[in-house]
Every structure is written in structure tokens, then in C-alpha cells.
Amino acid sequence: MSPVSPQDPWVQVAEVVRLIRRGEAQTRPELADATRLGRNVITQRIQAAQDLGLVQPSGEQRSRGGRAAEVWEFVGDKGRILTAMVGTAGFRVALTDLDHRVLEDRHVAWELTGDPLETCERIAAEMDAVLALHHLGSPAWGIGIGLSTPVNYVTGRSVRPVTAGPPGLDWSAGMDVRGWFTRRMQAPVWVEALPNIAALGAAAAPDAPADLVFVRMDRGVGSGIVSDGRLHRGADWIAGEITHILVHPDSDRICLCGRVGCLDAFASRWALEAEAHRALDQGRSPFLARRPAPVALEDVVAGAEAGDPTCAELVLRAAEAMGRALAGIVTWFNPRRVVIGGNTLADSALFQGTVSRTLNAQTLAASVDRLQLEHGTPDRAEDVIGASAMVTEMLLSPEYLAEWAPGGFPIDVEVLMAQKHDFLA
């Protein structure tokens, strides 16, 4: 794709839509000021955006001269976005509008073993069901997919994980996830790693600062980095891989990566569940002994909150390890906000309190005094909002809008498939 010119009328339409959507300019005079385009041109660009159904008038505003100016608003209801989050024990399919309002949200238990294409087909079937339920006669405007492995965002292909996971989770590195879903669902598709999607979700909050980190606790511990409002993906698409940061070099806990003392060996689901089983076998936890087998991370967190000393120790050691890892990250990156979410452990007040104390003890005041340490939402809303935001931002970007707007609907699959990937970077 050749670089788009600011003189391209559709690029100007995209800018008008962006200004109206963000509330930065909403009347003809404001839009003319903000874009430095003439009033007549602005009138035409607003008309084009209205023809696409993306903006509509929403009343009048009195200007200082006394003349009323029409106020324009973004029509988030105009388009529908499908999202799919593929986790370790199942997947989640949701439908949103262009304002990231959630219209449908389904969790499906699914074994991620065997052929990844079987998983893709099962997800696509769920998407078909959601579209049918909402009587959508046309395809979705776009699809956002989150994977539990790293992703090359430009090609939409999975990247080999840093360590090997259970079978089925690796998405056979290099798999063309975007191509598969684009052909199957007949809609533009973007694919991203789950921690990055959660970070985009946190960044879409109305009060979100420009620099933030989302720590997404799951089978391992991932994180997404938003710097100056943009996702930082790294040279090899594995930025934010905090799970293998060394936090206890003298420990005897062996990590999945083969080394000792990684954050993963203290704070990941697999590590805590392995430790819980050991404690159970050794008769060290009356609380876990009363829980139905096999004990899970949720049991450890419940035990810690109920005062079981072994469970409490596991949670505290996980939190302390997380605080140590974050101390380095916060010192180096200076985020305004760190959100920790993703699972029950992340939600635990005991865990969060200890993370905060460790972080404060190990970081200079200048780096933590104004830091906002927050919980993720219990329903993992960041995942769905982040995937929806990722797709909406791409659809309404000048580069992509200029491709689909002349046809009136973001359906031109070939545009994405024909090696026109450079604008994605």
C-alpha cells in the first residue's frame, strides 16, 4: 500500500471522525480549526462521514458570536466487532459495537489439544451463532483475536512461545491465524497476544494515562506495555514477557524454561498448583485437604483468605516475587499506572497488598509516589474492550478507512490479504 496522503479526501474523513469521536472537535468551526481545512471542505467531509453512518448531528451549540453551530457525535452503534480470546482452558467470544459496548459475551470450555484448526473452527462456529442471534445479515465489521502465545501483529501469525507449553497451546508457531479467520468469517481480522490486548483494554478507560503496564496473570504471567498511548510490542514480538524475569536467583524452584528463580516459578498458576499438591501430599494444609481434588489456584487463594498458613505463604511468596519483578519494571519504565489482573490470585487483596508493600520497599519514592497500582476487573472486561478497541482503531485509521470507505463497508478481504500489511506496523 502506498503511504496515504493528507490530501486524500478519505484521510480527511478519518481525521474528522477521529476528532468527533474523541470529543476534541465537534462543530464545523472547531473541526475547521483543528484540521486547518476550509469550511466548505469540512462540510463535505462531515457529509461523507454521515453517509458512512459514522457521525450524526446531536443538537446545537451557541458560539460567542451568537450563531448556533451544529454539534456532531460519533455513532458507535453503526458497526459490530467480534472478539475471541483463546485461553488455556477454553475460549471466549464476544460481540461489541464501535464504542466497545458488550452486546454478547460467551465463555466456552474447550480442550486446547490436538489440531489448532479444530479450535479455530469451533471458535468460528460460536461466532456464527452470535451473529445469527443478533440477526446480523452481514459479516462483522472486523474481528479481534487474542492468543495465549506471542503474535506477529503485522502478519497475524503466531510466534513460537518463549517456553514450550502443553500440547495445543503453541498454535504451531507461524500459523496464519489472521488468514484463516479472514477467509472463514469474511471480515478483516487482527490478532494479538492476550496481555497486549488487556493492556489496550486498560488504555481505553476514560481516565487511562498514556503510560501503563497491564500484568495479566494466567498459566504464566504476561504483561502488555502501553507507552505514550501506543502498544510496545518489541523487536521479536515478545516485549512484556515478565514471567521469566529472575526474582530469586538462589531459589531451588525450577521454572518451565529450565532455570531457577523466575517469577513464573512463584506466581504462575502451574507453579502454585504444583506447590499446593506438594503441601497436600505432605499433610501441611488442613484447608486444602478438605477441598475436592484436584486442588486448583482458586483453592490456594481461598485458603490464604481463610487463614490457612501454607496457602497464605504461597500467596505471599507469589506477591513478593511479583513486587520484585515490578520494582525493576517501574524503575526503568516509569508507568503512571500498573494494573494486575487475569485470575483469582491477581484479584486477591492479600496478594495486591503484598505486591504494593514489596514494590514500595524496593523502588525509589520518585518512581512510586504517583504510581497507581490497580486491580483488573473481575470479569476480565479489559480483554473484550481491548480486542474491540484494537479492531475499531484499525478500521477507523486513515490508512484502512481510505481502503474501505469508498465501498461503504469494511468487507474488502483482499485488501488485507494482498500483502498490504505495512501500515499495520
Q: Please name which of 96, 66, 67, 69 lies closest in space to residue 83, comparing C-alpha atoms.
A: 96
Question: Shortest distance, CB of residue 254 to Zn ion, whole angstroms?
Answer: 9
Piece in contact with Zn ion (CB under 5 A), picked from 117-125, 154-162, 177-185, 238-246? 238-246
Identify which of residues 321 and 327 has a Cβ nearer to Zn ion in the complex. 321
Piece in contact with Zn ion (CB under 5 A), picked from 14-22, 45-53, 249-257, 302-310? 249-257
Identify which of residues 244 and 380 has a Cβ nearer to Zn ion in the complex. 244
Identify which of residues 169 and 405 has a Cβ nearer to Zn ion in the complex. 169
CA dist 407 and 418 (Å) reads 17
In degrees and rounded to multiples of 5, residue 33 shows phi and psi of -60, -45
Identify which of residues 255 and 384 has a Cβ nearer to Zn ion in the complex. 255
Question: Shortest distance, CB of residue 275 to Zn ion, whole angstroms?
Answer: 16
Identify which of residues 66 and 249 has a Cβ nearer to Zn ion in the complex. 249
Q: Please name which of 295, 315, 294, 293 lies closest in space to residue 304, comparing C-alpha atoms.
A: 315
Whether 14 contacts 401, CB under 8 Å: yes
- Name the DSSP class of 422: G
Q: Contacts with Zn ion: how many residues (CB under 5 A)?
A: 5
3-class secondary-structure state, position 328:
helix
Q: Please name which of 299, 304, 339, 298 lies closest in space to residue 322, comparing C-alpha atoms.
A: 339
Told to check if 244 binds Zn ion by CB under 5 A, we report: yes
* Chain residues 251-310 in contact with Zn ion, contact rule CB under 5 A: 255, 257, 262, 264
- Name the DSSP class of 244: G
Question: Shortest distance, CB of residue 355 to Zn ion, whole angstroms?
Answer: 19
Radius of gyration of the chain (CA): 24
Pairing of strands 372-375, 337-341: parallel
Q: Please name which of 343, 243, 347, 242 lies closest in space to residue 296, comparing C-alpha atoms.
A: 343
Question: Shortest distance, CB of residue 291 to Zn ion, whole angstroms?
Answer: 28
- Name the DSSP class of 254: B
- Exposure string of 117-148, with b = 16+ CB inside 10 Å and e = fewer, is eebbeebbebbeebbeeeeeeebbbbbbbbbb
Question: Shortest distance, CB of residue 244 to Zn ion, whole angstroms?
Answer: 4
Piece in contact with Zn ion (CB under 5 A), picked from 248-256, 271-279, 309-317, 409-417? 248-256
Identify which of residues 259 and 420 has a Cβ nearer to Zn ion in the complex. 259
Piece in contact with Zn ion (CB under 5 A), picked from 39-47, 237-245, 288-296, 415-423? 237-245
* Chain residues 375-394 in contact with Zn ion, contact rule CB under 5 A: none
Question: Shortest distance, CB of residue 257 to Zn ion, whole angstroms?
Answer: 3
Cα torsion 256, 262, 264, 270: sign: positive
For 251, the grid coordinates are: 531459589
Question: Shortest distance, CB of residue 221 to Zn ion, whole angstroms?
Answer: 10
Identify which of residues 162 and 280 has a Cβ nearer to Zn ion in the complex. 162
Question: Shortest distance, CB of residue 250 to Zn ion, whole angstroms?
Answer: 15
* Chain residues 108-167 in contact with Zn ion, contact rule CB under 5 A: none
For 201, the grid coordinates are: 483494554
Name the residues that contact Zn ion, by CB under 5 A.
Answer: 244, 255, 257, 262, 264
